[in-house]
Structure 1
Amino acid sequence: MRRVAGIDCGTNSIRLLIADIDGDGRLHDVVRRMEVVRLGEGVDDTGRLSAAALERTRAALADYTARIREHGAEAVRMVATSATRDAANAHEFTAMVTSVLGAAPEVISGDEEARLSFTGAAATLPEPAGQRLLVDIGGGSTEFVRGSGSEVLAAISVDVGCVRMTERHLRSDPPAVSEVDAAAADIRAIVDA
Structure 2
Amino acid sequence: MSDQPASRLVAAIDCGTNSIKILVGSPSASAGGGPLDVVLRDSRVVRLGQGVDETGVLAEEALARTFAAVDEFAEVIRRHAVPPERVRFCATSATRDASNAAVFADGVRRRLGVEPEVLSGDEEAALVFAGAIAAQDPMPPEPVLVVDIGGGSTELVLGADGERQAVSMDIGSVRLHERHLHGDPPTAAEVRACVADIDEHLDRCGVALERTRTVIGTSGTIKTIACGVLALDSYDREAFDRAVLGNDATAAFVERLVAMPVDERRALPYMHPGRADVIGAGALIWGRILDRVPVGEHVVSEADILHGMAAAIAR
Q: TM-score, normalised by structure 2?
A: 0.59
Counterpart of 2:128? 117
% same residue? 52
Q: Which structure: greater strand fraction?
A: 1
Counterpart of 2:192? 181
The 8 Å contact of residues 118 and 152 in structure 1, kept in 2 or not, is answered as no
Counterpart of 1:34? 43
Match of residue 142, structure 2, among 109, 115, 130 = 130
Deviations 1:114-168 (A, max 9, x none): 110010101112311322101111100001101137x351101110101000000
Counterpart CA distance in 2 for 1:136 and 1:110 is 12
Secondary structure class of the residue paired with 2:94: helix
| Residues 87, 133 of structure 1: alpha-carbon distance in 2 compared, 3 angstrom cutoff | same
Counterpart of 1:9? 15
User: Cα distance, 1:192 vs. partner?
Assistant: 3.8
Match of residue 181, structure 2, among 170, 173, 178 = 170
The 8 Å contact of residues 145 and 152 in structure 1, kept in 2 or not, is answered as no
Secondary structure class of the residue paired with 2:47: coil
Counterpart CA distance in 1 for 2:54 and 2:141 is 44
The answer to whether the aligner puts 1:69 opposite 2:75 as a matched pair is no
Secondary structure class of the residue paired with 2:164: strand
Q: In structure 1, list runs of 5 or more residues that go unmatched.
A: none
Q: CA RMSD in A?
A: 1.5
Equivalent residues, number: 192
| Residues 152, 107 of structure 1: alpha-carbon distance in 2 compared, 3 angstrom cutoff | farther
User: Cα distance, 1:189 vs. partner?
Assistant: 3.0
Deviations 1:94-113 (A, max 9, x none): 00100111112100001111
Q: In structure 2, list runs of 5 or more residues that go unmatched.
A: 205-315
Paired residues for 1:84-163 under 5 Å: 84-126=95-137, 127-148=139-160, 151-163=162-174
The 8 Å contact of residues 82 and 140 in structure 1, kept in 2 or not, is answered as yes
Counterpart CA distance in 2 for 1:130 and 1:91 is 40
Q: Which structure has more RCO (C-alpha within 8 Å, separation ≥ 6)?
A: 2
Read off the aligned partner of 2:49 and give its amino acid letter. Answer: G
User: Cα distance, 1:29 vs. partner?
Assistant: 1.0
The 8 Å contact of residues 11 and 140 in structure 1, kept in 2 or not, is answered as yes
